[in-house]
Amino acid sequence: MKLRKLNRVTHRDIGYLIAGMTIIYAVSGIALNHKHDWNANYIIDQRTFTTDIQFTRDTTNEAKVYQLLEELGETKNFKTSYYPTGEKLTIFLVDGSAIVNTATGEGYVERLGKRPLFYQFNFLHYNPGKWWKWFSDIFCVSLILVTITGLFIVKGKNGITRRGAILTAAGIILPLLFLFIY
């Protein structure tokens, strides 16, 4: 088999093999790049409420907490409660919490839910275990191979010796320029 044909076959087959993982890492990478703009892992639902139930540090008991949770429709989700500060009652729920200002009766319930696909993609992106680390390393080596073999697929004026060389150089210079400026 000629070297040029071997290069094309290698590029094609490795490209097909890693296509799914490339999409997963790319989507996850975009999400992680914007982690200051939104929470890619969790959907956070917050709703406010006001209650007339009188809470004090001395009189708060499980029955009063359940009374509030009944108003909020959260009785099945109760875990525990405590006072982190003087007038702030925190109630822990399954997949969330409720915070009540006992002086005013105002509060909010916050529920957490895993964001579909993004949670799972980000989990993989963070390398969750020893075996996944090795899988990710093989994936990265495959990306390097696809890149190198891709450089030599096209011949002529659009190949690596002309237009391809300019674009490849630009692809190297842009990140270096970014590092220099920032």
Could you tell me if residue 125 is inside a domain?
no
Could you tell me if residue 73 is inside a domain?
yes
Q: Which two tokens stand for residue 9?
A: 């076959």
| Residue 76: DSSP 8-state | G
Within 10 A of 107 (CB to CB), how many other CB atoms are there? 22
CA angle at 175 for the pair 138 and 128, rounded to the nearest 5°:
35
pLDDT at 125: 85
pLDDT at 27: 94
Does residue 49 sit in the same domain as residue 100?
yes
CA atoms of 45 and 179, how far apart (whole Å):
38
Query: Domain range holding 152?
Result: 3-39+130-181
Could you tell me if residue 94 is inside a domain?
yes
Q: Which two tokens stand for residue 143?
A: 């990306």
Evaluate if residue 115 carries a pLDDT over 90.
Answer: yes
- Domain end, chosen from 114, 139, 162, is at 114
Domain count, the chain: 2
Answer whether 149's CB lies under 8 Å from 7's CB: yes
Could you tell me if residue 121 is inside a domain?
no
Could you tell me if residue 123 is inside a domain?
no
- Domain end, chosen from 114, 139, 154, is at 114
- Domain end, chosen from 85, 114, 143, is at 114
pLDDT tens sequence across 128-180: 888 998 999 999 999 999 999 999 999 889 899 999 999 999 999 999 999 99
Could you tell me if residue 140 is inside a domain?
yes
Could you tell me if residue 174 is inside a domain?
yes
CA atoms of 54 and 125, how far apart (whole Å):
47
pLDDT tens sequence across 27-66: 999 998 998 999 999 999 999 999 998 888 887 788 889 9
Could you tell me if residue 19 is inside a domain?
yes
Phi, psi of 96 (to 5 degrees): 170, -165
Evaluate if residue 73 carries a pLDDT over 80.
Answer: yes
pTM for this prediction: 0.71
What mean pLDDT comes out for the span 102-131?
91
Does residue 61 sit in the same domain as residue 98?
yes
Does residue 61 sit in the same domain as residue 104?
yes
Evaluate if residue 1 carries a pLDDT over 80.
Answer: no
Answer whether 30's CB lies under 8 Å from 125's CB: no
